[in-house]
Structure 1
Amino acid sequence: MAEIQDHAAPSIRGLLRPPRFVTIEKFEELTGYTPDATRSKIKRGDWLEGVLYIKAPDGRILMDIEGYEWWVLNGAAGSAQLQKAASR
């Protein structure tokens, strides 16, 4: 009988790697930013697509945890403020 392949997220010593991209609702659980606050930051352009969030192939917004952590550590550099400063 053929062996079944496990296509789960890669693991390190048996521990699952947390997902890089999460729904806005899961993002709230992880960061405390409410879905309304997150959507407002996206709508205003404070958080850039491809930096702090992506759109999945089905159009759903997924927050980039690595991008968020970088933004927390570097402030405006992960937001539209960087883009405005660079255009001057």
Structure 2
Amino acid sequence: MAGKDIARHEFIGLMAEVMGAKNKSLAGIKGKVIDETKNAFIMLTEKSERKTVLKQGCAIAFELRDGQKVIIDAGILAQRPEDRIKMKIK
């Protein structure tokens, strides 16, 4: 997958880890993305806890279905998922 296409990827169902965040309490959260809103990812941790991770101010590592790992500034994903998949990235 080309780097410019990652923003149009479906993230629900992927494993993710917060690599860095302005809110230090979010750093290090790992889990499966179970939902996505305009401004946040909802993750289910290994301890079966639901964590809300705001997109703005976070760097998140995703493991794609093909095994590839990518780190994204989640702020660029801060829009409705259905709109994000349609957007054009230059």
Question: Structure 2-normalised TM-score?
Answer: 0.25
Could you say which structure has the larger radius of gyration?
1
Q: Which structure is higher in strand share?
A: 2
Q: Which structure is higher in helix share?
A: 1
